[in-house]
Every structure is written in C-alpha cells, then in structure tokens.
Amino acid sequence: MEKHFLEVQVLQRAMDVLEAIGTSAEPVSLKAITERVGLPKSTVYRILSNLEARGYVCCSNEGGYRLGLKFFTLGQKAEKGFELKRIARPYMARLNQFSSESVHLGVLARNKVLYLDSIDSPHTIRLVAQIGGTNAIHCTSLGKALLIGHSDDEIRQVLAEAGMERRTSYTLITPESFLREMEVVRRAGFGVDDRESNEDCFCIGAPIYNHYGQVMAAISVSGPISRISRRMAETAVAPRLLEATRAISRSLG
C-alpha cells in the first residue's frame, strides 16, 4: 500500500545535498553540489552551513565537502542495535519455547520503553508489543529492568519527566513507592509487572549489560495471569531469563 506523507521542502533539499555528498567517493565542491541538486548556490551554502554546524558534513581546507562524524556515531549506534537483535533473538526464541509466552526486547528511549523485537506466544490469548512502539517505564517489567543501574536521584528525574499514569489499581504512582520497588529489583536482578500495566497480565524482565557494565537493553517474558503467576515467574522463568540475559551480555563483550 502506498504510504503518503507531507513533503517538507527544506528537509527534502537537505537530504538531496547529503545524498550528493554521500554518493561521492571524494570531497565535493560547493559548485558540484549546486549542479547536482539544481538549487541556487546561496541556498545550498545555507544548508551546508547548518549541516556543518550539526556535524553532519565537514569542509576540507580545499573547500570540498564530505559526510561528518555525526553519521559515523549514528551509524555505530544503529549497528549496535542490529547486533543486539541478532544476538538476542536465539535466546528470546528459547525463552518463548520454554514459557510459551510472549518475549520482548526493549531499550530506554526518551524516558520510555522502546520495543526492538518481539516473539509472540503461540496461545490465542497473548501479550503483543508493536516493534518500534513504546510503553511506560514505571509500570512495566522492562522499564524496571532498564532502570536497575540508575541512582535514586536519576530515577526521580526520569519519573518526573515521564509521569506516573495510573493504569490499574496495582500501578505504582508515587516516586517513593517506585523506589521501594526498585530496591527489590536490584536485589533480585529482575523486575516484575504484577498487573500494574494491565489487570490481566504478569511480566518479568531482566537487564542486558554492555562491555562497560551499563544496562543497554532488557528482555521480558509476559503472559496473562491465568497462565503466569508471580510464584511461577520467580521460580521457573526467572532463572532461565537471567541465564539468557547474562549470556547475551557476555556476547556483547
């Protein structure tokens, strides 16, 4: 199906300029860029000046333009995201097979949980997460797992910016109650969502660490409370989940 979008002229022009530079193996002069994109020289120069100020292009002493380091750093982050999904996927599949419940991979993005990958439960009634979609931090097991390395002050700041919407009668809606919960999470090494996001659901999530020992992602196992209870999650699922996240962490260095 054709996807419609509102074309923003200045953005389209900036993209044309970037593509004119990025498709060349050598630095490109202002004159050459102007000829390639078919825009006035003054317009191209203004675009280049803005892109250069943001680090997206750089100009050599000879006046040739090439892509800047910002693309390198963004590319590295994107590559790490793909690497994380590639490494995590087999472990997620085994957790899915073991539990017969949905397994989600998420990261922290703008004080929300961002879903990177998901494997659905084979059951008709199941928890589904949209890849690329977001969820709240304060009432999800992924959110708690992602905050496990944050200090209390940092968590207070995140909660202040994100808010603490009440979703069910079990939702933690004050920083104090959430921080008490995080003490339990830190000791256990995993977090749970016991009907906090949805009255009918239970989720358990554990963090994935990078080579600096920092939390970079988390994996959760989620299902309806008719199939997954706190006792079952903590005694049966948690050991498998922690085994998986520790193995992924080791694979990431």
Nearest Cα neighbor of 202 from 243, 244, 232 is: 232
> How deeply is 118 buried, as exposed, middle or buried, from its count of CB atoms within 10 A (0-12, 13-18, 19+)?
buried
Please, which pLDDT band fits residue 10 given cuts at 50, 70 and 90? confident
Check residue 190 and give its pLDDT. 98
Contact between 55 and 67 (Cβ < 8 Å): no
**Comparison of pLDDT for 191 and 73, the residue scoring more:** 191
Nearest Cα neighbor of 135 from 154, 118, 119, 148 is: 118
Please, which pLDDT band fits residue 77 given cuts at 50, 70 and 90? low
Residue 98 CB: number of other CB atoms within 10 A? Answer: 15
Q: Which two tokens stand for residue 7?
A: 């074309």
52-56, 60-64, 126-130, 189-193: lowest mean pLDDT where? 60-64
Its pTM stands at: 0.71
pLDDT digits (tens, 9 = 90+) for 183-218: 999 999 999 999 999 999 999 999 999 988 999 999
